[in-house]
């Protein structure tokens, strides 16, 4: 093998490593999106399970009387949802808050 062939082989390997690095970057981005979606779905699943548990346990005939004796329950539920990281404003209700606090959501608390 002469020097030119060795240099060509090293150049080819360098190109292959660059392509592999690029593919690794794409896979990393895809994995990040999958992890975020999985977390969001786990949180949503947890909320749905607790909602179902609460509604199934409150399905007795006297539940209407119980609602009349708890005046701030709706506001407390909205505050809990907001604290868990979801929008409560009418424009994006139920979607995850990714950029910190939402001024429209905070306005509902005032």
Dump pLDDT digits (tens) for 16-57: 999 999 999 999 999 988 998 899 899 899 988 888 888 777
Q: Evaluate if residue 60 carries a pLDDT over 60.
A: no
pLDDT number for residue 59: 60
- Report how far apart, in Å, the C-alpha atoms of 4 and of each of 8, 18, 24, 60 are: 6, 21, 30, 85
- Sequence-separated (6 or more) residues with CB below 8 Å from residue 90: 104
Q: How confident is the model at residue 70 (pLDDT cuts 50, 70, 90)?
A: very low
Give the pLDDT band (50/70/90) at residue 71: very low
pLDDT at 22: 95
What contacts 78, CB < 8 A, 6 or more positions away? 88, 108
Phi and psi, residue 17, nearest 5°: -65, -40
Total-model pTM: 0.44
């Amino acid at each position: 093998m002469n020097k030119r062939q060795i240099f060509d082989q090293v150049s080819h390997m360098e190109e292959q490593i660059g392509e592999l690095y690029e593919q690794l970057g794409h896979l990393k981005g895809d994995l990040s999106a999958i992890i975020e979606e999985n977390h969001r779905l786990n949180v949503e699943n947890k909320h749905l399970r607790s909602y179902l548990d609460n509604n199934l346990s409150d399905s007795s005939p006297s539940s209407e009387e119980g609602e009349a004796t708890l005046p701030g329950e709706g506001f407390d539920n909205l505050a809990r949802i907001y604290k868990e990281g979801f929008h409560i404003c009418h424009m994006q209700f139920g979607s995850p808050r990714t950029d910190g606090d939402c001024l429209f959501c905070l306005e509902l608390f005032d």
